[in-house]
């Protein structure tokens, strides 16, 4: 095992491995990273999630919740190679990090528990790896557990992915007796953990199984390279180096996914995992990148400078930190770089190599490596850093749209004053969050990937920036309109001893087609109302429409016509006619069959076939109208429906529960339709109750 070095030296791209450790939340990723760091000598101890002292989960929020909420970069050195490990959160609420990290790594280690069924986090990681064409291997964890089902899991993997799944190891011992792994590459048994690994010969009872599986391993390796295939078909045995070379090319092409074994809690299998990352996962040399114009470039330290920002953190003390993968060229301390997305020149005054929470100062970072830059003025996640001469730009990260929304409000006036700036810094850090201000419903909206995502975001605002916000259920943007015509007089007359107030107008309301908006007409003849007062009448109507006539919601889709009235030479004024218009508008609305409209969403849900019945049944309880079903992918069905927005406030959470996290949906506003009478009555009753409470106060 290599000893610990004082600091990381410069490595050429062919000796760098950028690897994401991914998988379902709770599968053991963070503990695996702890043992990898310790085994490689990059850490003096092995922390635990329970103790809150791991190297990757260093944020106070992660320590309190005992889950990873943000990707962290942890480099180590192994057999003269540098491995940049990125521990990626496994909960779907933090899937944004998975998409961002996939842009800057060359391989993924997908961690899963030794049980027959695969978790949704495994599926998400696999799909993202496929989307980005990344090499991957699978690390089966928790083989020491009493209920570990290694054979059942291998059946599932082989059944789902076929010959792509290649056994690279065999477990020695079962469940509590699990003590090591038999590595099929060199036909040796590795027992012990971390730095204390002992190498033994293959036990007699495992020889036949190991020989048969090693043949399949060599078959897979030979398929990765034509020269190896020719040699192998000629009857010659492949060397260890040739097998690794073939497996690397097979993994890079997505044809081979090696399966490795171990225990992240004890450190068994960690050393051989590090060996396989170095030997069988591709380096940046084998992973050319594509610019926005479709040009493919090699990862060359002497090429044009191209750095991609894949993560941004907002620290209240240090300031903004951008995490950057250097795809080409060499970045030096105090360089001037061009943020090509924003056309801004930036100076690299603070260059670091990230080590989880710690930062190691750096002067040079070359192609293939990862670094951090502090205090750039106007650089964000997804931006490309290059030079004014080269102006190379990489495609931005495509993040999933938020699926869960709440309204937020400040707890105190001081919080309200600080809220805008704090939210801006938080949004810089997390591109999967969205903040909008709904001026119609007078609410601030925060949308994210789930309730845990929103909760942790509010906790960050409180602990990092001292801003206390509370989440409340977002108001549904109902609207009000009329179903028939109605007319009424609006008359305002007040005598106060001096100059009085007088305004008198007759208004007629007429329904308009859904979505057509508001029209104001003037049919006054003979000077019954002077023309200079007509705009005041329209203004009074428009202001009244903002607060509605039934339950306080904006009025839409009607025509209002002023067709008669009277005035006083002295007492009439714009204010008097505006007030008269308000009175007349409400009186005419009462005669025009007022009604409340609700927003209807066009919903598309993709779910596993076995969950279709439950999903359709659930939509029926939400007053959904089914629009159709069709196969969308093997084993999946797409369900289309029209569903009232009011019933969908927690749908993201409910769908996750119904489908065990495997359902996905998108929803867009389709149209507005009349709210059922009983629902209208409840809204009106609630509105009148609050109105009376406000009047009493």
124-136 tens-digit pLDDT: 999 999 999 999 9
Torsion of CA 171, 74, 26, 39, to 10 degrees: 30
Q: Cα(407)–Cα(227) distance, rounded to whole angstroms? A: 62
Number of Cβ within a 10 Å radius of residue 454 = 21
Distance between CA atoms of residues 237 and 221, nearest Å: 11
Mention every residue, 6+ apart, whose C-beta is less than 8 A from residue 569.
Answer: none
1's CB contacts (< 8 A; 6+ apart) are 39, 40, 41, 195, 197, 271
Judge whether residue 601 has pLDDT over 50. yes
Mean pLDDT of 355-384: 94
Distance of CA 639 to the CA centre of its chain: 23
Does the pLDDT of residue 321 top 80, yes or no?
yes
pLDDT for 138-193, tens place per residue? Answer: 999 999 999 999 999 999 999 999 999 999 999 999 999 999 999 999 999 999 88
Helix axis angle, 270-280 to 240-252, nearest 10°: 70
Q: What percent of the chain has pLDDT over 90?
A: 85
| Predicted local distance difference test score (pLDDT) of residue 4 | 37
> Tens digits of per-residue pLDDT, 444-465?
999 999 999 999 999 999 998 9
3-state secondary structure of 435: strand
Does residue 395 register a pLDDT over 70?
yes
pLDDT at 227: 84
pLDDT for 10 equals 84
CB-based burial label for 3 (10 Å; 0-12, 13-18, 19+): exposed
Q: Predicted confidence band at 410 (pLDDT cuts at 50, 70, 90)?
A: very high
Question: How many angstroms separate the CA atoms of 279 and 267, rounded?
Answer: 20
Domains 13-202+254-286 and 480-592 share a fold: no
Dist. CA 600–CA 472, nearest whole Å: 22
Q: How far apart are CA 7 and CA 28, in angstroms?
A: 28
Answer yes or no: is pLDDT of 257 > 50.
yes
What's the pLDDT at 418?
A: 94
Per-residue CA distances from 463 to 64, 343, 422, 467, 468 (Å): 12, 34, 11, 8, 9
Q: Is 613 left (phi over 0), alpha (psi -120 to 50) or beta?
A: alpha
Architecture of 404-472 per CATH? 2-Layer Sandwich (3.30)
Class of the domain covering 480-592: alpha beta
pLDDT for 651 beyond 80: yes
CA distance 321 to 324: 10
Strands 289-290, 257-261: parallel, antiparallel or unpaired by DSSP?
unpaired
Provide the whole-model pTM. Answer: 0.89
The pLDDT value recorded for residue 6 is: 38
For the beta sheet containing 135-141, the strands, ordered from the edge strand earlier in sequence to the opposite edge, are 72-78, 81-87, 16-23, 107-113, 135-141, 257-261, 165-167
| Residue 340 falls in which region: left (phi positive, over 0), alpha (psi -120 to 50) or beta | alpha
Superfamily covering domain 290-386: Translation factors (2.40.30.10)
Using alpha carbons only, give the angle 461, 466, 467 rounded to the nearest 5 degrees: 60
Distance CA 450, CA 444 (A): 17
pLDDT computed for residue 697 by the predictor? 65
Separation CA 694–CA 412 (nearest Å) = 20
Cβ-count burial 562-587 (b if 16+ within 10 Å, e if not): bbbbebeeeebbeebbbbbbbbbbbb
Note the pLDDT of residue 236.
82
259-274 pLDDT tens trace: 999 999 999 999 999 9
C-alpha–C-alpha distance, residues 140 and 156, integer Å: 13
Domain ranges of the chain: 13-202+254-286, 290-386, 404-472, 480-592, 598-678
Topology of domain 13-202+254-286, per CATH? Answer: Rossmann fold (3.40.50)
Asked which of 27-36, 223-232, 399-408, 477-486 is least confident by mean pLDDT, the reply is 223-232
What are the structure tokens assigned to 557, written together? 């889709």
What's the mean per-residue pLDDT of the chain? 93
pLDDT at 501 over 60: yes
The string of DSSP codes covering 610-670 is: GGHHHHHHHHHHTT-EEEEEEEEETTEEEEEEEEEGGG-TTHHHHHHHHTTT--EEEEEEE
Of 78, 100, 97, the closest CA to residue 89 belongs to 97
Q: Which helix (H) or strand (E) holds 359?
A: strand 358-361
Predicted pLDDT of residue 1:
35
pLDDT computed for residue 470 by the predictor: 95
**Residue 687 exposed, middle or buried by CB count within 10 Å (0-12, 13-18, 19+):** middle
Pair type for strands 135-141 and 257-261: parallel
Residue 310 contacts residue 100 (beta carbons within 8 Å):
yes
- Is the pLDDT assigned to residue 5 strictly greater than 80? no
Q: What is the DSSP string of 30-94?
A: HHHHHHHHHHTTS-SS---TTTT--SS--SHHHHHHTS--S-EEEEEEETTEEEEEEE---SGGG
Architecture in CATH for domain 598-678? 2-Layer Sandwich (3.30)
- pLDDT at residue 695 tops 80: no
pLDDT digits (tens, 9 = 90+) for 91-129: 999 999 999 999 999 999 999 999 999 999 999 999 999
pLDDT confidence of residue 633: 83
Provide, for the chain, the percentages of residues in helix, strand and coil under a 3-state DSSP scheme, each rounded to the nearest 5: 30, 30, 35
CA distance 209 to 228: 24
Residues belonging to the chain: 697
Residue 280 CB contacts under 8 Å (≥ 6 apart), including other chains? 137, 244, 247, 248, 251, 258
**Confidence at residue 192, expressed as pLDDT on a 0 to 100 scale:** 87
Q: What percent of the chain has pLDDT over 70?
A: 98
> 448 and 565 in contact (C-beta within 8 Å)?
no
């Amino acid at each position: 095992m290599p000893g610990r070095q004082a600091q990381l030296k410069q490595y050429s791209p062919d000796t760098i491995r950028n690897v994401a450790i991914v998988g379902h939340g709770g599968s053991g990723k963070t503990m695996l990273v702890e043992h990898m760091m310790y085994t490689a000598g990059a850490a003096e101890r092995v922390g635990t999630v329970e103790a809150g002292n791991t190297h990757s989960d260093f944020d106070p929020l992660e320590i309190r919740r005992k889950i990873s909420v943000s990707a962290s970069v942890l480099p180590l050195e192994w057999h003269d190679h540098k491995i940049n490990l990125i521990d990626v959160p496994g909960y779907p609420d933090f899937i944004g990090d998975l998409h961002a990290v996939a842009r800057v790594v060359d391989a993924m280690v997908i961690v899963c528990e030794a049980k027959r069924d695969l978790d949704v986090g495994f599926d998400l990681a696999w799909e993202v790896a496929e989307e980005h064409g990344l090499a991957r291997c699978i690390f089966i964890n928790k083989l020491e557990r009493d209920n570990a089902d290694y054979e059942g899991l291998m059946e599932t993997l082989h059944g789902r992915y076929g010959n792509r799944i290649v056994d690279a190891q065999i477990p020695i011992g079962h469940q509590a007796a699990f003590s090591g792994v038999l590595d099929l590459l060199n036909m040796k048994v590795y027992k012990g953990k971390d730095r204390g690994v002992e190498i033994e010969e293959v036990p007699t009872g495992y020889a036949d199984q190991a020989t048969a599986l090693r043949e399949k391993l060599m078959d897979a390796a030979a398929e990765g390279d034509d020269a190896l295939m020719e040699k192998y078909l000629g009857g010659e045995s492949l060397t260890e180096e040739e097998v690794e070379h073939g497996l690397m090319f097979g993994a890079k092409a997505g044809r081979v996914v090696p399966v490795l074994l171990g225990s992240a809690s004890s450190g068994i299998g960690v050393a051989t995992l590090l060996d396989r990352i170095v030997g069988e996962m591709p380096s940046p040399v084998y992973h050319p990148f594509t610019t926005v114009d479709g040009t493919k470039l090699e990862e060359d330290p002497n090429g044009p400078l191209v750095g991609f920002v894949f993560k941004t953190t907002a620290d209240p003390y240090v300031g903004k930190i951008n995490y950057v993968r250097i795809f080409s060229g060499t970045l030096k301390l105090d360089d001037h770089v061009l943020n090509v997305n924003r056309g801004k020149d930036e100076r690299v005054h603070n260059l670091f190599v990230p080590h989880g929470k710690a930062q190691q100062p750096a002067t040079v970072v070359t192609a293939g490596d990862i670094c951090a830059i502090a205090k750039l003025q106007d650089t964000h996640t997804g931006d490309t850093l290059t030079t004014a001469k080269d102006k190379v730009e990489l495609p931005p990260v495509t993040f999933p749209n938020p699926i869960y929304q709440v309204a937020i409000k400040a707890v105190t006036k001081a919080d309200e004053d600080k809220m805008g700036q704090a939210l801006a810094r938080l949004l810089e850090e997390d591109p999967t969050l969205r903040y909008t201000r709904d001026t119609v419903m007078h609410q601030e909206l925060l949308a994210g990937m789930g309730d845990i995502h929103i909760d942790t975001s509010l906790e960050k605002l409180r602990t990092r920036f001292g801003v206390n916000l509370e989440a409340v259920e977002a108001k549904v943007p109902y609207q009000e309109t009329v179903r028939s015509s109605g007319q009424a007089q609006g008359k305002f007359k007040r005598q106060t001893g001096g100059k009085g107030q007088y305004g008198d107008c007759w208004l007629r309301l007429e329904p308009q087609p859904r979505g057509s908006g508001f029209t104001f007409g003037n049919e006054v003849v003979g000077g019954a109302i002077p023309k200079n007062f007509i705009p005041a009448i329209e203004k009074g109507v428009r202001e009244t429409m903002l607060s509605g006539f039934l339950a306080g919601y904006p009025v839409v889709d009607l025509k209002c016509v002023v067709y008669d009235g009277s005035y006083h030479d002295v007492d009439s004024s714009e204010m008097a006619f505006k007030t008269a218009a308000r009175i007349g508008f409400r009186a005419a609305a009462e005669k025009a069959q007022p009604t409340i409209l609700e927003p209807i969403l066009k919903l598309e849900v993709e779910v596993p076939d076995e969950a279709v019945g439950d999903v359709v049944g659930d939509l029926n309880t939400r007053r959904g109208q089914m629009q159709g079903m069709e196969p969308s992918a093997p084993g999946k069905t797409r369900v289309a429906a029209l569903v009232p927005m009011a019933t969908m406030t927690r749908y993201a959470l409910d769908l996750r529960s119904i489908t065990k996290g495997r359902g996905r949906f998108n929803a867009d506003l389709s149209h507005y339709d009349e709210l059922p009478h009983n629902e209208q009555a409840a809204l009106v009753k609630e509105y009148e109750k609050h109105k009376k409470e406000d009047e009493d106060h």
